[in-house]
Structure 1
Amino acid sequence: MKFDLRIFRKQKGLTQKQVAEFLGIGQSFVSQMERGKDATPKETIAKLIDKFGDIQVDIAELNESKTTIGSGRVIPYYDAEVAAGTEYGMEMMQTAPVGVIEIGGLLKDSEFAMRVYGNSMVPNYPAGCVIGLRQYNEHFIEPGTVYVIETEENRFLKRLYYSKDKKAFRCMSDNHMKHENGPMEGEYFYPEFEIPFEDVRRLLRVTGVIKRNIL
């Protein structure tokens, strides 16, 4: 599969700035490589893979053109971003599906699927996994359940609760890892945050997950 720096970076939960600092290059050069204006050098690819591990399997590529497989039911796969973290520059434009995925038992209640970037929902939703989703039109959430919560600027995968004043959603991560040293010692890598109700553009219920080791 062709190396895609942008997909690689987001699967590993890295910002352009972090990649640039690791490689010792300017952030603008990283941006140019991601947009295809400059090819990613082979030695750069090797250095990134050696440090962070190889890019994960592109499930859409494996499933495209499958329309009558297994159970016969398939759902569209959108290679849009669902961030399991907060430091992501999201692209919120609506896009056409890039392939299809067989529903099967894992995604039987799903209407479509997307890929997860970032590590804040580990171990249940690791970076690179694909989640099944369906539109959520109820007036009340089920506290403690995992949703994709979408605003004008971001699309987050989080375990949701109500804020104490009942005016916002509390967005919680499954990854409870803490900093071991430095000025942030003892603090969570992925602290909770709130999104006011009026900022929510859309809620999606997570209905299933396909992890890499299942493929």
Structure 2
Amino acid sequence: MHETGPDKAGLGNFLWFHTSTFPGLIALSDFGLGRLHTQVSRSKQDPKNIERTATYRSPEFDLPFGKVSPRSDIFSLGCVMLEYVTWFLMGLDAVEKVFPDARSERDIYGFDSDVFFSIKNEKAFLKPSVAKWIKELQNHQNCSWYIWDLLEIIKDRMLDPNGETRIPANQLTKRMKALQAVCLSESEYYLGVRPKT
């Protein structure tokens, strides 16, 4: 079942496909932007007229002249992936309470907001609290090289507050396949713990 309304990326939107011989595949059924890879995201429409997921929305939704594109979906995916890594390393309470509280601040409308970016002088920035959180995850005692590298991609490329320079889907796919290739050839890459500096 899909929810309706502005905040649709709930647990019910994650689908798990598995069999007795295949451990599974997680798929996200709907980001809440409502029309992924349709004419809406390709045509750089005014984001104020498009349904969206509140917490995971990209900065384009709050910028005065922001235009939604497929790269807006990449930002939302980066938010979800960061929360997934948070859950993996720190548990559900960190996803539901600790991390949202850490990034909560007044938005441009004067409301407390747990979005991943802030707007200052009509320019978007990754919230310092989000960058700090990623650094904490990278320094977590159970962080592997794989997770560290994944967090770098999330921070630098997926959560890039500039929609024009944010990584496009085809490049993200290549980066993910490169990480997968290392995992398949070196189990220590994802099983071992990265030495702390």
- Higher fraction of strand: 1
- TM-score normalized by the length of structure 2: 0.27
Q: Greater helix share, 1 or 2?
A: 2
Larger Rg: 1
TM-score, normalising length from structure 1? 0.26
